Amino acid sequence: MTNANLTITQLQQAIIAQPDNHQLLAQLGELYCVQQQYELAHDYFNEAIQRQPNYYWAIAHRGETYRLQGNYSIALTDFNQALTQKSDYVWAIAHRGMTYRLMGKTYYTLALTDFNQAIQLKPDYAWAIAYRCRIYDLLRSYQEALVDFDKAIALDQNLFDNKHSERGMLLSYCGCYEEAIAVCQQALLENPRDHFALYNIAVFKMRWQGWSSAQPEIETARATLQSAVNTPDRGIVLYRLGGLAALEGHTELALQFLQAAILLDNTAIDFALHDIAWLELRSYPQFQSLVVEK
């Protein structure tokens, strides 16, 4: 694309002067998409495509707009159409993979195939490596996920919001509890009240050394989480309070927290299916009914 730094007003003025310029129309659509004005984005993408029907960039980015709106089947149609025009369009391959990932468990292998293809075409594509890590995690291929996590971080330190705690979780899934705790303690050096790190340390220590050894960490994590209940993170905070209750054998309380968390933040389902705090509850019908995998 050209004129990447133009504002919406500047693009509108440029389009007045060049009304048949399909690239300017598509670029304006992209700017509206970034601002989450999706209907306006569609208008300009459609106009660009009308003027240039084989314009794969506009078709793919219209597909991304549909993905962001949650219209996954329509998004796939656009990504597929764009890729018939340019089969090695790496961005479209990777974002089609992200669409498959969001469509649920049945589509994870298709997502993995797309991310693999994107990375083969562009080995340093940090975004695709990071999301392939997510897919490996969801598929319980934790060693592969950890390798991708480290590759992605080496390329871009900002890809993961909670890089220490997320790496600690992957290590814990591989049974490396001591190393997982040490990694999460790095997060506490940056923020001593990081409830993600405190929760992880409590869970890992419980699995590694037992309840009596982990009790101080559990209490510290619980107190910090309770102080954050009425923040924008309420959903994940309730989830983690449930995880601590599960660790201590308070099954009903744990399930109540989990149910409330899922209503606020659907990502709690993915967490619960992998989080080792919930190991004993995974066979419970009540737990299974809450976290039915799509």
Question: Residue 182: what pLDDT?
Answer: 97
44, 38, 73, 71: which is closest to 57 by C-alpha? 44
Query: 64 near 95, Cβ under 8 Å?
Result: yes
Residue 220 lies in a domain: no
Task: Please report, for the domain that includes residue 67, its CATH number.
Answer: 1.25.40.10
Query: 73 near 80, Cβ under 8 Å?
Result: no
157: helix, coil or strand? Answer: coil
pLDDT tens for 243-282 read 999 999 999 999 999 999 999 998 899 899 999 999 999 9
Residue 239 pLDDT > 80 = yes
Question: Residue 1: what pLDDT?
Answer: 47
167-172 LR contacts (CB < 8 Å, sep 24+)? 168/197, 168/200, 168/204, 169/200, 169/274, 169/275, 170/137, 170/142, 170/145, 170/146, 171/146, 172/200, 172/203, 172/204, 172/207, 172/276
246, 258, 70, 135: which is closest to 127 by C-alpha? 135
Query: 272 near 291, Cβ under 8 Å?
Result: yes
Residue 3 lies in a domain: yes
246, 255, 180, 192: which is closest to 224 by C-alpha? 192
Query: 66 near 46, Cβ under 8 Å?
Result: no
- Give the Cβ contact number of residue 86 at 10 Å: 14
Q: Tokens representing 49?
A: 């495509």
Residue 210 lies in a domain: no
Query: 21 near 46, Cβ under 8 Å?
Result: no
Q: Determine the Cα–Cα distance for residues 282 and 116; give it in Å rounded to an integer.
A: 31
Query: 118 near 95, Cβ under 8 Å?
Result: no
Residue 14 pLDDT > 80 = no
User: What band does 144 get if pLDDT is binned at 50, 70 and 90?
Assistant: very high
Residue 199 lies in a domain: no
Domains of the chain: total:
2
- The residue type found at 34 is V
Q: Determine the Cα–Cα distance for residues 180 and 170; give it in Å rounded to an integer.
A: 8
The average confidence (pLDDT) of the chain is 92
Residue 123 lies in a domain: no
Residue 18 DSSP one-character state = -
User: What band does 293 get if pLDDT is binned at 50, 70 and 90?
Assistant: low
Q: Determine the Cα–Cα distance for residues 13 and 183; give it in Å rounded to an integer.
A: 52
**N- to C-terminal Cα separation, the chain:** 37
- Give the Cβ contact number of residue 192 at 10 Å: 10
User: What band does 126 get if pLDDT is binned at 50, 70 and 90?
Assistant: very high
Residue 21 DSSP one-character state = -
Angle at CA of residue 140, ends 184 and 92, nearest 5°:
95
Residue 260 lies in a domain: yes
Record the pTM. Answer: 0.86
- Give the Cβ contact number of residue 126 at 10 Å: 18
87, 156, 151: which is closest to 121 by C-alpha? 87
Residue 110 pLDDT > 50 = yes
Domain end, chosen from 50, 67, 87, is at 87
User: What band does 25 get if pLDDT is binned at 50, 70 and 90?
Assistant: confident
pLDDT tens for 161-187 read 899 999 999 999 999 999 999 999 999
Domain end, chosen from 52, 87, 122, is at 87
Residue 3 pLDDT > 50 = no
pLDDT tens for 183-205 read 999 999 999 999 999 999 999 99
Residue 4 pLDDT > 60 = no
Domain end, chosen from 27, 59, 87, is at 87
Residue 184 lies in a domain: no
Residue 196 lies in a domain: no
Question: Residue 17: what pLDDT?
Answer: 67
List the domain range (segments joined by +) for residue 40. Answer: 1-87
Q: Determine the Cα–Cα distance for residues 78 and 83; give it in Å rounded to an integer.
A: 9
